[in-house]
Amino acid sequence: MGVVNSLTDGHRAGFACFVGRPNVGKSTLMNALVGSKVAITSSKPQTTRRVIRGVVHRPDAQLVIVDTPGLHRPRTLLGERLDSLVLSTLTEVDVIGFCVPAGDPIGRGDRFIAEKLAGLRKTPVVAVVTKTDLAPRDRVAEQLLEVSRLGEWADIVPVSAADGENLDTLTDVLVERLPEGPALYAGGELTDEPEQVMVAELIREAVLEGVREELPHSIAVVVEEMNPREGKDILDIYAIMYVERPSQKAIVIGNKGARLKEVGTNARKQIEALLGTRVFLDLRIKVAKDWQRDPKQLRRLGFYD
Ligand SMILES: Nc1nc2c(ncn2[C@@H]2O[C@H](COP(=O)(O)OP(=O)(O)OP(=O)(O)O)[C@@H](O)[C@H]2O)c(=O)[nH]1
């Protein structure tokens, strides 16, 4: 065996994605596997709207993780786009992780997704029982049994993103299902999501933090410009936050602008941590009436067909 051959021999590379109903811990799990904050998490369901990839680098394998929005029944136009996005993602990956939390009873949402997955005969599905730190041992065991009855799984792995339980095992199990081949991404690269999109997601997360009850899904953020300031080690970012109604604008702005200011500060700190540079953030807010139901507005806000 030559030197060149031995470099790729046995090396595996490919794509995985996690599906599951909203809030089961998909984004958190991906972050824990990748080891860096590349997807956005929040205690509010359905915060993930874009496909974001993170890359797990190992000497023997490279696992590219595609994060999907929660697979759910469409209600608004935005919902319908999410579902077609999810389904097209599912046929393009090498392995799927189907996430069900350890502590929750299996419900209609889980069954709905299990049925969809049964229709994708070619792609192996690993069932992942998440958040094991939140459930007693016997409950986790019971859940493993119940999940095994939901469908034909390539494997079942209980994990906790919070305390790290079985994360290596899960990576091993996913890697086993990847085709042999050389690495797809260069060494230090963690995500191929454009920086602008990640910055917009961080801003949206900061906005949602304070007002989750009042306006759960009515906020979109667009980063219009990102420019290094001449002669200074600082990045100027101009972003616009869209809400659906004037009343929502008032909530986000807060008393004498106090809330907006706080959101701006929090978002700026997150962006600085992500990009490793000082940031000036110009954050404006606009009303785009009923943007979730309007195809033209959706395109403008970056949700393409
Ligand atoms: N205790 C505990 N909490 C977790 C764990 N994983 C996720 N969570 C929490 O569960 C909530 C939802 O996690 P997300 O990762 O945003 O869930 P998601 O499935 O990506 O949600 P969507 O984006 O809505 O599809 C967050 O508050 C997380 O902090 C875990 O292993 N243990």
Domain ranges of the chain: 3-176, 195-300
Residue 27 assigned as binding residue: yes
Read off the pTM: 0.63
Mean pLDDT, rounded, for 27-44: 66
Other CB atoms within 10 A of residue 193 CB:
17
Residue 252's pLDDT band (boundaries 50, 70, 90)? confident
Greater model confidence, 281 or 242: 281
Alpha-carbon separation of residue 17 from 81, 91, 162, 277 (angstroms): 18, 10, 19, 31
**Is the Cα dihedral 46, 52, 56, 61 positive or negative?**
positive
Residue 68 assigned as binding residue: yes
Q: How far apart are the first and last CA of the chain?
A: 48
Check for a shared fold between 3-176 and 195-300. Answer: no
Secondary structure letter of residue 150 according to DSSP: T
Residue 284 assigned as binding residue: no
What sections of 68-166 are H helices per DSSP?
A: 77-90, 108-118, 137-148
Residue 120's pLDDT band (boundaries 50, 70, 90)? confident
pLDDT at 81 over 60: no
**Residues 205, 95: Cα–Cα separation, whole Å:** 29
Question: Is the Cβ–Cβ distance between 223 and 200 less than 8 Å?
Answer: yes
Q: How far is the CA of 25 from the centre of ligand 1 (A)?
A: 3
Mean pLDDT, rounded, for 84-88: 64
What is the atom index within ligand 1 of the atom nearest the CA of 163?
Answer: 31
**Reported ipTM:** 0.97
- Please tell me the predicted confidence (pLDDT) of residue 304: 44
Question: Is the Cβ–Cβ distance between 167 and 159 less than 8 Å?
Answer: yes
- Please tell me the predicted confidence (pLDDT) of residue 100: 97
For 114, the 3-state DSSP assignment is: helix
Which residue(s) pair with 19 in the sheet? Answer: 98
Which residue(s) pair with 268 in the sheet? Answer: none
Pocket test for ligand 1, best of 21, 27, 29, 49 (most atoms within 8 A of CB): 27
Question: Is the Cβ–Cβ distance between 48 and 39 less than 8 Å?
Answer: yes
Buried-exposed string 216-232: b where 16+ CB fall within 10 A, e elsewhere: ebbbbbbbeebeeeeee
Q: Which of 224, 237, 244 is nearest to 286 (CA)?
A: 244
- Nearest CA residue ID for atom 27, ligand 1: 43
**Residues 199, 275: Cα–Cα separation, whole Å:** 9
Q: Which CATH class is domain 195-300?
A: alpha beta
Q: Locate tokens 């929502």: which residue?
A: 248
Q: How far is the CA of 28 from the centre of ligand 1 (A)?
A: 5
**Residues 99, 74: Cα–Cα separation, whole Å:** 20
Residue 268 assigned as binding residue: no
Residue 268's pLDDT band (boundaries 50, 70, 90)? very high
Pick the CATH number of 3-176 from 3.30.300.100, 3.30.70.260, 3.30.450.20, 3.40.50.300: 3.40.50.300
Q: How far is the CA of 41 from the centre of ligand 1 (A)?
A: 7
Enumerate residues lining ligand 1, CB below 6 A: 20, 22-28, 41-43, 45-48, 69-70, 130-131, 133-134, 160-162
**Residues 218, 247: Cα–Cα separation, whole Å:** 12
Q: Which of 37, 170, 32, 191 is nearest to 98 (CA)?
A: 170
Interacting residues of 165 by C-beta distance below 8 A, sequence separation 6+: 132, 133, 158, 159
Q: Which two tokens stand for residue 137?
A: 């041992």
